[in-house]
Each structure stands twice: as structure tokens, then as C-alpha cells.
Structure 1
Amino acid sequence: MASASRWEKLLLRPALTGAADTLTPTSIPVFLYGTAWKKEQTADLVYQALCAGFRGIDTAAQPKHYREDLVGAGLRKALAEGKARREDVYVQTKYTSVGGQDPHSIPYDPSSSIAEQVHTSIKSSLLNLRPRDDPSSEKDAYLDALVLHSPLPTTDETLEAWTTLEEYVPHKIRNLGISNCPLPVLKTLYGSATKVKPAVVQNRFFPGSKFDVPLRQFCRENSIVYQSFWTLTANPTLAWSAEVGLLSHQAGISPQAALYCLVMGLGNTILLNGTKNAGRMREDLAAPGIVGKFAAKHPENWERILSGFNKLIGETQTA
């Protein structure tokens, strides 16, 4: 599952195993730039993140909290200036059901069927995230992943949305996933999906979910990449723990970056990073490589720190 370096990126499971038209498996970088709540700054920050070295972007078709249109604008500017190539950037967005939308800015007709809502949402996302300013370049647009922003109110509705998403895989959408998802729902979805299994799960990593220990175990067992968000904001105790402090000191990185790297160390895990600070962008992006070298040079120290971190979150198995 890991790439040449687990500290750089992971490979997602091929969406259509054995299919003749399956594309090359998608690489997902260890950091996705999180674009929630960036508002009018979104385009500039996405451009800045790509210039700093981010090669993954997370957004959503949810105007209440995201400006997906401005994410696209920032991406196109970076592509046009040669700061990045589209094939090297992992672009992920979400379908958000009616319950998660502002009724005044829903990107589809809320009275339509779930399937029609999904179709319209995807069409809007492909236009927003097209590779060039010319609207006709929508025909060349694709998404590296489309994530259900949350389970729908019923299992049948969740599966209807998922089955509709499967129609776009693997060409317009490379992979599918789900966010804000408890383990029982994930197990049901995984068992019921007949064409495309979930490739990613994006959840809050925080004490309220007991750090998703059983869910992350299920993800490891089934080649699902876990995407951690709210990692810093929700975990001040972890950020100032002895284990984070030791890694920060011994590897020469910030405590925040050390926490990020210890979460990556749990295995099959990448993180959302939404910093607005250009210096922090560069420091955070450099940290996994620094920790990878530290772990290779001082394996006993790394294992001791990681083991202590595992105990803090109730983890009993490491990658």
C-alpha cells in the first residue's frame, strides 16, 4: 500500500480491480491542503499552497463552508504558471447532502432525487475544478476522489448516492470515499458497494471518537486510507504531550509538525493541513521527510516515541 516512501505519499487501492480500463492507481500525498472556511482568500491560499509544495487539495461542493469555485481558480493559476502539473496534484471534493447545506446556496435542486442531486453536484464540481479558465475545459476535468461528506439519513439513501457516484469511476472520478463516518456505517457501505469500495475515509481525529481506533484498524485491514482532520485544533493535550515534545526536540521540527508525523506513523494515514502561513506550509511539508530520516537513523528512539504516542490514544497495533 505504501509508496517508495510512506513519508511522501500512499497509493490508493485501484478502484476497479481487474477491469480492462482501470487507470494507474492514484497517489495520495501525506498532506492535503484543507480549504474549509478560507472564504475570499481561498484562491490565493490554494495557489500559495501549491507553490509551497502541496500536491493535494481537499474541498467540497458546500458553499456554506467552502469556495470550491475559488479552489479551482487557485489551482488553474498554479497550473497556468507551471507551478504544478495537474497529473501531479491530487484533487478531492465532496457531495454534501441537503442536511449539510445552507438552503440559500445549495449547488443542486434539493427537491430532486438523490441521484439527480449527485449528478448536478458532480457537474458543478467538474466545472469549478476544470484545468483551464476556458469553461469548455470542463470536458478535460476529472477528480482524484469524490467523498460523501457524511452518511445520508438512511442506509438506502447513502447507498443510492454511492451507486450514483460509481457511474463516474474511473474516468471522471478516480476514487470514492466517505467522511464523518462511524464504523458500523463504513462496514455496511464497504460490504454493500458492489462496484467500487471506499478508498478513503475522512474523519475527525479527536478524543470524542476515541481517535477512531477500531475504525482505523478496519481501514488498515481493507486498504482504506484514513484522512485525519481537526488534528491540531481538537488535540491540545496531544500537541503538548511528552512524546510530541521528544520528537520535536530530537528531529528538530515544531511540536505541531511532530504531532502530524506521529499520526502519520499510525499507518495508512494522511492528514489535512489548512495553515494560512507560508512559512508553516514549507515547514510542515518538510517535516515528514525529516522524521523519515530520523526514524531510519534512530529506529529505537522512533519506536519508543511512537509506542508512547500509541498508548496515549489507546492504540494497540502499529503499521
Structure 2
Amino acid sequence: MKERTLNNGIAIPIVGSGTNTYGKEGNQYRGALRGDTQEIDWAIENGYRHLDCAQAYNNEEVVGEGIRKSFVPREEFFITTKLNTFEGCGGADWARAEIDKSLEKLQTDYVDLFLLHAPWDQDAEMLEAWRILEDYYNRGVFKSIGVSNFKKEHLDLLLEKSNVPPAVNQIKSQVGHWNEDLIAYDKMHGIATVAWSPLGGIDEKARKVLDEIGQPYGKTYAQVVLRYQIERDVIVIPKSHNQERQAQSLDIFDFELTASDRDRIAELG
């Protein structure tokens, strides 16, 4: 698996697996846990070592149990999880308690990348939450820290006021919403961009174009999109409940898109 080095020297695999519906009834985001780790088992068998989860997904234990059962050494995995800040931060004690729950569910004593899952409209609270992440980072519990869904103004706040700059900004980047400006801004400040739902936004018209591009390479439309993303230096976390398609998302390192290919893809929307 190819990796890129974050701004603190930590290496992150450039393809990971999303997990937000894994282990859930009906493969639904709000589904109850089924009590198995099927999709994580397949992902690990396929070679995924970068697994992206979050407190808000309510299934960190599925990821933790899948890793434990695999007998693959913990240090071979890159685990990302996120503090649930969609409604802000409930204070330092709340944040630390939530972090402890994540570590327990993931059955690990450290996390490779820990993110604030979303910004909110209280700058002082955001800085307090970030300083808590910095504390865990300085103690080695978090190997790297970052943010998700942050825009320029939120990044500016942390870059100006924090001691540890974000290593990652995980954002929406997909067909019809490539988010070029924010990706460029991240890059200018040494922040790696991770695309969530990188295969979203593909309608029938876009799929036809992507299939045409992929045909000479023997690649699917999804593989073409993922290749386009990583050629833009964007880390991707596709997700599938199908073992074969999981494997296909890793099989994107044996071809390169032409300039014409990239122009056609950039125009999709």
C-alpha cells in the first residue's frame, strides 16, 4: 500500500476503508449493530490497513473487534476516529470521557489519527477541544490530530491559535463537488486532504464518461475516480459492503490517467 507522510512525519496509507455502516442491520447508517464484523473481516483480508471510523457512527466496537480477531499486529493498522462535535463540545471532562470510550471500543491504547468531526460556531470551545487533542498528541495517545469538514475560516483559527497544526482535513470531494479551492488551501498550509465518500455524486451520465475512460485500462468507473483523487494528492476512504468491490478500490496503482482523462473527469458534475 502506498503511503504519504503527514506534516508531523507520520505515514498514512493513501487508500483506506470507510466504516460508517459496517456491522449494522440493513447496512444502514442508523441501523442497530448485527453483532458481527463481516465487512471489516473482508477489508482486512483484502489488504486494507487504514480504517476510518468515528464516535458518531456508533460502531467503533465493530472495527476494534475486527482488528482483534484478525491477528494482524495492531501496529500494522492506521486507525482514524473522530470526536463527535456535530453539536459542539460538552467541555473538557466530556471530551476526555468520550475519548476514553473510543479507546475502549477500539481495543487500543492509541489512535493513529484523531479528528474533530465538525466545526461549530464557538471559537473558544473549538480551541479548547483542539488543545485537548494536542494534550493527547503530546502524550503519544494520538499519533496525529486533525479535523473534518473544516472550511478556510476554521482552519485559520487553529493555524493562528494552536501549537500543533492539523495534519489532516477530511472533507467532501467527489464528482460534481471536487472542492478544489479548499484542497489547494489545505496543501498550501501543509495539511493533507482526505476525501470522505469519494465515490459519491456519480449519476448515469458521469458513470458513462468514467466507464469510457476506464475501458483502455481495464478499470471500473469507481477505480477511475479513485485514481483521479490520488493523482490530486487526495487520500481516499471508499466503502463497500461487497468484498470484490472492496478489493477493486485497492487495485488502482497500476495505471495513470492522461491529461485529457483528468480534464474530462474535472468537468463532471
- Structure 1 length as normaliser, TM-score? 0.74
Residue 226 (structure 1) aligned with residue 193 (structure 2): yes
Q: Which residue of 2 aligns with 1:125?
A: 102
Q: Which residue of 2 aligns with 1:236?
A: 203
Q: Which residue of 2 aligns with 1:86?
A: 74
Q: Which residue of 2 aligns with 1:298?
A: none
Q: Which residue of 2 aligns with 1:290?
A: 254
Name stretches of at least 5 consecutive residues in structure 2 with no aligned partner: 25-32
CA distance in 1, matches of 2:245, 2:174: 22
Q: Which residue of 2 aligns with 1:213?
A: 180
Q: Tell me if the contact between 2:175 and 2:268 (Cα under 8 Å) persists in the aligned partners.
A: no
Q: Tell me if the contact between 2:159 and 2:165 (Cα under 8 Å) persists in the aligned partners.
A: yes
**Of residues 196, 200, 223 in structure 2, which corresponds to 1:257?**
223
* C-alpha deviation, 1:8, in angstroms: 1.7
* C-alpha deviation, 1:149, in angstroms: 0.6
Where do residues 158-177 of structure 1 align in structure 2 (5 Å cutoff)? 158-170=126-138, 171-177=140-146
Letter in 2 for 1:173: F
Q: Which residue of 1 aligns with 2:120?
A: 152
Letter in 1 for 2:144: N
Letter in 2 for 1:77: K
Q: Tell me if the contact between 1:144 and 1:173 (Cα under 8 Å) persists in the aligned partners.
A: yes
Letter in 1 for 2:83: Y
Residue 61 (structure 1) aligned with residue 55 (structure 2): yes
Q: Tell me if the contact between 1:60 and 1:68 (Cα under 8 Å) persists in the aligned partners.
A: yes
Q: Tell me if the contact between 2:52 and 2:81 (Cα under 8 Å) persists in the aligned partners.
A: yes
CA distance in 2, matches of 1:117, 1:130: 20
Q: Tell me if the contact between 1:33 and 1:49 (Cα under 8 Å) persists in the aligned partners.
A: yes
* C-alpha deviation, 1:130, in angstroms: 2.1
Deviates more, 1:275-284 or 1:25-34: 25-34
Q: Which residue of 1 aligns with 2:45?
A: 51
CA distance in 2, matches of 1:258, 1:43: 29
CA distance in 2, matches of 1:237, 1:121: 41
Cα RMSD between the aligned structures? 2.2
* C-alpha deviation, 1:312, in angstroms: 4.3
SS of 1:216's equivalent in the other structure is: helix
CA distance in 2, matches of 1:96, 1:303: 40
Q: Deviations over 1:268-301 (max 9, x none)?
A: x1111110111111111112x122xxx3xxxxx6
SS of 2:171's equivalent in the other structure is: strand
Name stretches of at least 5 consecutive residues in structure 1 with no aligned partner: 1-6, 15-24, 101-109, 132-140, 296-300, 314-319
Q: Which residue of 2 aligns with 1:305?
A: 261
Q: Which residue of 1 aligns with 2:19?
A: 35
Q: 1:214 to 1:237 in 2, by over 3 A?
A: farther
Q: 1:284 to 1:176 in 2, by over 3 A?
A: same
Question: Which has the greater radius of gyration?
Answer: 1
Q: Tell me if the contact between 1:43 and 1:73 (Cα under 8 Å) persists in the aligned partners.
A: yes
Q: Which residue of 2 aligns with 1:142?
A: 110
CA distance in 1, matches of 2:264, 2:156: 29
Q: Tell me if the contact between 1:130 and 1:142 (Cα under 8 Å) persists in the aligned partners.
A: no
Q: 1:98 to 1:205 in 2, by over 3 A?
A: closer
Q: Deviations over 1:5-53 (max 9, x none)?
A: xx82211111xxxxxxxxxx32211222111122235622112211110
SS of 1:54's equivalent in the other structure is: coil
| Number of positions where the alignment pairs a residue of Structure 1 with one of Structure 2 | 258
Where do residues 81-120 of structure 1 align in structure 2 (5 Å cutoff)? 84-97=72-85, 99=87, 113-120=90-97
**Of residues 158, 164, 170 in structure 2, which corresponds to 1:189?**
158
* C-alpha deviation, 1:168, in angstroms: 0.8
Q: 1:302 to 1:98 in 2, by over 3 A?
A: closer
Q: Tell me if the contact between 2:85 and 2:117 (Cα under 8 Å) persists in the aligned partners.
A: yes
Q: Tell me if the contact between 1:265 and 1:306 (Cα under 8 Å) persists in the aligned partners.
A: no
- Structure 2 length as normaliser, TM-score? 0.87
